[in-house]
Amino acid sequence: MKQKGYEYVHGSAAPQLEYDVYEENQVLRAKKIYKSNRKVKIRMVMAILAVFAAGLAVMCRYAMITKISYQINQRQKAYEEIRNENSMLRVQIETMTDLNEIKEAAESRLGMQMPDKSQIVYIRVPRNDYTVMVSREPETDNYGNPVLKFINRAVGLFKLFE
């Protein structure tokens, strides 16, 4: 803001120097260059370390994945062996089962006997066996309104008792 011959300066009223101290003094200029080079070197070393750490993390992750994959393969092989053994045992049990031997063992060792005609009870099972199922009608778009859903379910419940 200028007014008749006056100049208003915000902040410090000290005049700004028009020259650069570092240009005129060679020692200060060398120090400034050294500091700026040192900062660049430190940033470069930090960037290299960050890239190295990221690479190490990726390698560690792949090593863990490989280890887990190897364990899964081992367990799958063990599972297949147990499954094959189980099927072989089933076949062996089926071939060794003789109904005459079972009857003889039940009568001699366990003391079982065939039931008399008076001990047999016959149960009549009706042929008209049915199950009632409620058919679901496609839901209309209630847009997630819980009141409309409740009303639809109540109507479905009343239809059940008709």
Structure tokens at 3: 């007014």
Structural domain includes residue 50: yes
pLDDT digits (tens, 9 = 90+) for 31-50: 888 888 888 899 999 999 99
Q: How far is CA 158 from CA 66, 133, 154, in A?
A: 60, 14, 6
Listing DSSP states for 124-154 in one string gives ---S------PPPPPPP--TT-HHHHHHHHH
Domain around 69: 16-85
Structural domain includes residue 79: yes
**How confident is the model over 80-93, as a mean pLDDT?**
95
Cα 58 → chain centroid: 20
Structural domain includes residue 121: no
Strands (DSSP E) contained in 69-125 are none
Q: What is the reported pLDDT for 124?
A: 84
Question: Count of domains in the chain?
Answer: 1
Structural domain includes residue 80: yes
